[in-house]
Every structure is written in structure tokens, then in C-alpha cells.
Amino acid sequence: MTQEDLARLVGNSKGDSPAMVEMVLVQLMKEGAIGKLNGRLVVNP
């Protein structure tokens, strides 16, 4: 799933703005909880 797809999906289902979701995704990437592999978001073990 791409970052944009995830932000749109979560924003639509939870009523949050895509900008808020994007901010949380960036924070998770900085913490190392998620990463990108071949342009897609993946959970880091």
C-alpha cells in the first residue's frame, strides 16, 4: 500500500484529514516502526 493510499483510506474511514495521517506516518517512519520497500509501506520487525 502506498503512503498516499493509506492516508486517503484512513482519512475517509476515520474522518481524519490526510495531513494528520501523513504526519503520523512520518513520525512512525522516524521511530523506525514502519519503512518503505519498493515504494510501499511495510512494518519493520
Axis crossing angle, helix 18-31 with helix 3-14, rounded to the nearest 10: 130
C-alpha cell of 12? 475517509
Looking at residue 15, what is its pLDDT?
77
3-state secondary structure of 16: coil
What are the tens digits of pLDDT across the range 1-45?
Answer: 677 887 788 877 777 788 888 888 889 889 999 898 888 888 887
Looking at residue 14, what is its pLDDT?
75
C-alpha cell of 11? 482519512
3-state secondary structure of 6: helix
Looking at residue 13, what is its pLDDT?
76
Looking at residue 39, what is its pLDDT?
83
Q: How far is CA 16 from CA 8, 44, 45, in A?
A: 9, 25, 27
